[in-house]
Amino acid sequence: MKHIPCALTIAGSDPSGGAGIQADLKTFQELQSYGMSVITSLTAQNTTGVQGVYHIPTDMIEQQLTSIMNDMPIHAFKTGMIANVDMMKVIEKRVPEINAPYIMDPVMVATSGDPLISTQAQQYLCNHLLPLATVVTPNIPEAETIIGEKINTEDDMKEAAIQIVKHYGAQAALIKGGHIKGDAVDFLYDGNNMFTFSAQRIETKNSHGTGCTLSAAITAFLAQGASFYDAVKRSKTYITLAIKHSLPLGNGSGPTNHWAPRINETTKLEEIKS
Ligand SMILES: Nc1ncnc2c1ncn2[C@@H]1O[C@H](COP(=O)(O)OP(=O)(O)OP(=O)(O)O)[C@@H](O)[C@H]1O
Ligand SMILES: Cc1ncc(CO)c(N)n1
């Protein structure tokens, strides 16, 4: 039997299916990596916001990880919502043992503006988990929290990517431009080179779970052995098509469409117009 790429997500659950664990597993499935999940928190949320949160006890998070690690291959893994310091300590201990590319989506606030992790957890994430990441994928507000400076321009985004690699020790940083005016431009710095991934901005209110989906796609491609550059380039095309054909569901910010990249699988990033 040929190599079966196996991808793991350690994240929170979004019962409305647009973000968190559900977005990650849909992405893994679409991109043909075998998907596994460790659930850190159950949220009650939908397209309009977060109505409630229940944190899984830390020993149960560790048990979920142990069950997978004792039995299943893990070729790449990502983390999303890790709500508190105790949960982070469990993950910090296990990252070296998993010994696979680690994609960190430093989730702090939901698309709706609701906070998803505590302030102490933000600090712990920056000081303890960031140095373990193969690639970290902050949006602009998250990058501002990490470096403690405002980001207003594309040059500021590039500088933030460099700072995160040089000062915080992540191997690579992808700063996402979803929260800035103009085209949707993301910058990847891998310690040597700065790469630019640009797509036309799509006018839509349906952007629930875009960050989760992008980092899950990178995880799926890295599990298959893709290079950093290829993984990010293909993931950017995936998310751009998923946003362009996003689903008008719910009363708030609707979910992205995971079928669209399949239907448009030969589309080039430059060809996607709003
Ligand atoms: N309106 C848009 N049109 C095209 N691409 C977009 C748009 N909004 C976001 N993107 C792209 O989607 C990806 C995710 O970026 P974004 O900054 O939205 O992440 P995020 O804020 O972490 O997402 P989330 O809403 O899940 O928290 C990036 O590649 C970004 O450039
Ligand atoms: C569970 C969860 N993780 C991440 C996000 C960020 O979009 C969210 N809204 N919910």
Tell me, in angstroms, the distance from the centre of ligand 1 to residue 211's CA: 6
Ligand 1 pocket member 179 (CB < 6 A) = yes
Asked if the structure places residue 1 within a domain, the reply is no
Q: Check residue 1 and give its pLDDT.
A: 59
Range of the domain at 120: 6-273
Q: Check residue 274 and give its pLDDT.
A: 66
Q: Of the ligands numbered here, which is closest to the C-alpha atom of 213? A: 1
Asked if the structure places residue 85 within a domain, the reply is yes
Ligand 1 pocket member 89 (CB < 6 A) = no
Ligand 1 pocket member 210 (CB < 6 A) = yes
Q: Check residue 124 and give its pLDDT.
A: 96
Tell me, in angstroms, the distance from the centre of ligand 2 to residue 49's CA: 10
Asked if the structure places residue 42 within a domain, the reply is yes
230 contact partners, CB below 8 Å, separation of at least 6: 221
Q: Give this prediction's pTM.
A: 0.96
Per-residue pLDDT of the chain (274 residues; tens, 9 = 90+): 578 999 999 999 999 999 999 999 999 999 999 999 999 999 999 999 999 999 999 999 999 999 999 999 999 999 999 999 999 999 999 999 999 999 999 998 877 777 888 889 999 999 999 999 999 999 999 999 999 999 999 999 999 999 999 999 999 999 999 988 899 999 999 999 999 999 999 999 998 999 999 999 999 999 999 999 999 999 999 999 999 999 999 999 999 999 987 777 677 887 787 6
Tell me, in angstroms, the distance from the centre of ligand 1 to residue 2's CA: 34
Q: Check residue 262 and give its pLDDT.
A: 77
Q: Domain total for the chain?
A: 1
Asked if the structure places residue 201 within a domain, the reply is yes
Ligand 1 pocket member 209 (CB < 6 A) = yes
Q: Check residue 238 and give its pLDDT.
A: 96
Asked if the structure places residue 189 within a domain, the reply is yes
Ligand 2-lining residues (CB < 6 angstroms): 11-14, 19-20, 43, 80-81, 107, 110-111, 209, 211-212
Asked if the structure places residue 187 within a domain, the reply is yes
Tell me, in angstroms, the distance from the centre of ligand 1 to residue 213's CA: 9
Asked if the structure places residue 157 within a domain, the reply is yes
> Is ipTM strictly over 0.95?
yes
Ligand 1 pocket member 80 (CB < 6 A) = no
* C-alpha span between 121 and 194 (Å, rounded): 29
Asked if the structure places residue 51 within a domain, the reply is yes
Ligand 1 pocket member 233 (CB < 6 A) = no
Mutate to test the pocket of ligand 2, among 116, 142, 208, 256 (most ligand atoms within 8 A of CB): 116
Q: Check residue 236 and give its pLDDT.
A: 97
Residue nearest to atom 3 of ligand 2 (CA): 20
Tell me the CATH number at 241: 3.40.1190.20
